[in-house]
Each structure stands twice: as structure tokens, then as C-alpha cells.
Amino acid sequence: MATFSNVDHILTTEPEKVERAAIVIFASDRGLAGAFSSSVLKESEQLAELLRSQGKDIVYYLVGRKAVGYFKFRKRSSERIWTGSTEKPEFETAKSIGDALVEKFVTPASEGGVDEIHIVFNRFVSIATQKPEVVRLLPLEVVEGVEAPGEGAVLPLYEFEPEVGDVLDALLPVYIESRIFNAMLQSAASEHAARQKAMKSASDNADKLVTTYTRLRNNARQTEITQQISEIVGGADALASSK
């Protein structure tokens, strides 16, 4: 719709100069998930370093207690936090995040707003692979929906009812919420996979420790029994030779 209309919407307009950027970090509420949270936090630090090198101020939004704890430990501030729904994402949470981000984006940077917003989350590839990923959420990128027309080609004409601006006002915030919810679902799937992998690794290590210490106990017990038998036999031989 944005492609086939000449309407410049505030959510799709590239700013002339980016002064402030927001980073939304999707971590977990609980631990015991291996490097799940640390990998996405590391990715966000690299992104922040890149943005600062471009002269941009950073504003953080945090999703998950692990991200909140990470920032509190380092005495760093965040604009807003959401916790309690990382394992079972709810669309209401995505809507709350989306509303906060859109409000921040449409506010001028001089009044505390931001010029662009990035989200950092773990993308679920497979049960064995989860990769941290950075996606620019706002401004939305308008891509061409058709191939370049050939010579003499007639382009289709589109009519919108109601006005294009009204339709975009209604649809774009929902689209943003859907992208945020997708990131939450990807993150939740990655968290479950990472926790399953971490628990299997811990279980395997525990089994190895049980096997190792059982063998050590048996060896020590066998050595002690052998020593006791040797002492008894030696004592018996000494008594027999003294008669």
C-alpha cells in the first residue's frame, strides 16, 4: 500500500539526520538456558558501539529479567522494561511494547523522541541453533512491490477507500506489533531450545561425574579390602611361624 501510493507516512519516512536511536533487547526471565541471554546482550552491546561511533545517542528498552539485571548490575538506565512473559509471549505485551515505541518514534528527538528503533533477539533456526539477530524496526522500509515495468507497459492503478493515510494510520501500528510479537515468539522458541540443550549438557555431565566417582569409590574400596586381606594373611603367617 505504501509502495503504490504517494503518501509519506511518519512511520515510513527516513529522517534527514539520526540523532537518537532506541535498542529493544529481548532476553529471558529465567536462567539455566546456556548462553541464550548473554549472546543477545553481547549483540546489543556491539550494536550500541556501532551506533555511538556514528554519533547517535542510545535509548534502551528491555524485555526479560536477565536484561534488567544486566543493566542494574552495571548501573545503566533504561527507558522502560517488560518482564514475566518471555516464555509464553502474549500479544498484549507486544501491543504494549509497540505503543511505547511508536509514541517514542513520532516524538521529535529534541523533545526526547528517537529517530530510529532497532530490536535485538535470538532467531530460532533449529533445536540446536539459535542466532542473535538485529532488525531495524522503525522507520519501516518501503520496498518495491513490482518488477521494473518494460517498455510500453501499463502500470496498474489502485484506489483506496478510505484515504490511504487513514488506512496506513490503522494498519502500520498493527504491523509493527506483529513484528514485535514475531520477535517474542522467535525468542521464546530459542529460549526453550537453549534451555533444553543446556539441561541435556548438564545431565550428561552429571552422568559422567557419577560414573567417574563410582569408579573411584570402587577402586578405593577394592584397594582397602585388598590391603585388609593382605594384613590378615600376613598376621596369620606370622602366628603360624611363631609356633
pLDDT of residue 148: 58
Backbone angles phi, psi at 129, to 5 degrees: -135, 125
pLDDT of residue 144: 55
Q: Among 27, 29, 2, 53, which Cα is nearest to 119's?
A: 27
What whole-number distance in Å separates Cα of residue 11 and Cα of residue 138?
7
The DSSP result for 117-149, as a single string, is EEEEEEEE-SSS-EEEEEEEEESPPP---SPPP
pLDDT of residue 118: 98
Grid coordinates belonging to 181 = 510479537
**Domains of the chain as residue ranges with CATH:** 20-142+161-196 (3.40.1380.10)
What whole-number distance in Å separates Cα of residue 34 and Cα of residue 190?
11
Grid coordinates belonging to 93 = 505485551
For the chain, report the end-to-end CA distance as a whole number of angstroms: 112
pLDDT of residue 2: 54
In the predicted model, residues of the chain with pLDDT beneath 70 are 1-7, 143-156, 242-243
What whole-number distance in Å separates Cα of residue 39 and Cα of residue 18?
27
What whole-number distance in Å separates Cα of residue 190 and Cα of residue 195?
8
pLDDT of residue 164: 79
pLDDT of residue 142: 72
pTM of the model: 0.81
What whole-number distance in Å separates Cα of residue 177 and Cα of residue 135?
14
